[in-house]
Amino acid sequence: MDAMRILLVDDVHLERMQLAMRLQRLGHIVEAAASGCEAIEKYPEFDPDLVLLDVSMPDMSGTEVAQQIRERYPDWVPIIFLSGHDEPEMIATAIDMGGDDYLVKPVNKMVLVAKLKAMRRIATMRHELKETHQQLEVVNERLSQLVNEDGLTKVANRRFLDQKLAEMISWHGRNNLSMSIIMIDVDHFKAFNDYYGHLEGDRCLQSIAAELKTTFSRAGELVARYGGEEFVVLISHCDKTRAVKECERLKQSVRLLEIPHTKSTTAELVTVSQGMVAWVPTGLETPENMYQIVDKVLYKAKAQGRNRFVAAEFT
């Protein structure tokens, strides 16, 4: 890293301009501010690698500016104070108030160059650390996605479903709000697999999962693979009336995929059966308890001929 972005803060126009020119001749990018308030205003947009900060200014002292920078912006950037005073007590106070170094004005050229070299090394390390941190965040996000995602269908997996259902039960229970859970089973899927083969079976599940994810993509909605050919949809702030409409929408979205199913005794295309439960949680229900309840409702839909949904309220 050759050039640094330096925020220079000094209320004396001539001194500010002279030092700015020296810094620019050394190859750095300089943003000058004539006051502490102006410096704080410019700081986030300019995003400096180094702050050169006059201690004595009329509107706001350098130490006050340093304090505000440290409080507002946790990403550490070195601050070097500038002052015509070289008393040990003042230097110590400046460092205590958030500064990292101290230069006495008029600034000696050799000392300035030496300080800037040291700050450049720090700035380089800081940028490398930021890049490493950003890369780690990307990796961690991807790992989190892999941990919570079903490998085949790319919707949420059972582990994440259990976690989110427990959270939603707790939250809706505390706020006395209704929620819904829909359990979906692909009709005659074993016959589909046996006739078309497992690769086509996988493609069928992937197509249905993708359609469900598109259909239920709003905030407070989650699509997950429960296991095998079964999926679960969780819908926040959803009573029975709305949930019935969502079940109908789900049924139509799967039908529009038009996946042929020659061996189905229900229809010529792939269809699904749904069991739905809408309720206001007490907060004491467990995911396993709710899976058992909605599975029984799903069984009724299958027993009544499949390619349909059965809606129930749980009290």
- Asked whether 257 and 207 are in contact (CB, 8 A), the reply is yes
In this structure, what token pair is assigned to residue 158? 């059972």
Does 87 participate in catalysis according to the annotation? Answer: no
Bridge partners for 13 per DSSP: none
* Cis bond upstream, residue 78 (ω within 30): no
Q: Pick from 279, 282, 153: which is nearest to 208 by CA?
A: 153
Return phi, psi of residue 185, to 5°.
-125, 130
- Active-site hit among 31, 221, 229, 246: 229
- Asked whether 115 and 103 are in contact (CB, 8 A), the reply is yes
Query: Measured between alpha carbons, how far is 297 from 315 in angstroms, rounded to an integer?
Result: 14
Catalytic site positions? 229
